[in-house]
Structure 1
Amino acid sequence: MKKIFYLSVILLSMVLVSCDEDDNVHQYTGNSVVYFDGATTSSLLVPTAGATKEVVLVATNLSDAARSFSVSVDAESTAQEGVDFNLMTNSITIAAGEYSGSLVIEGLYDGADPDGTRLILNLDSENAEVAGFSNSYSLDIFKQCESDLSGSYSVTTTYGYHDFLPDYNPSTIDADITEVDAGVYSVSDFSGGLYSEGPYAGAYGTDAADNTLVFTDFCGNISWEGQTDPWGDIIPLDGGTNSVDSGTGVITLSWYCTGYGENGVSVYTPQ
Structure 2
Amino acid sequence: MKKLYTLFAVALAAVAMTSCFEDPGNETFFDGNQVEFADAKLPNGLAATFVRASETQTDQTEIGLNRVSTSAANAISVNIEVDPTSTAVEGVHYTLSGNSATIASGEFVGTFPVTVLTGNIDPSESPDLILNITSATGADIAANYGSITIRIRVICPSDLAGTWVFENGNVTTIEEIGTGNYVIANLNAMGGYYNQSFTLAGNFTDNCDKLELYGSEPTNGVKWRGSGVFDPATQTITWESVTDIEYNPDYSVTSIVMTRQ
Q: TM-score range by the shorter chain?
A: 0.3 to 0.5
- TM-score normalised per structure 1: 0.45
Larger CA Rg, structure 1 vs 2:
1
- TM-score normalised per structure 2: 0.47
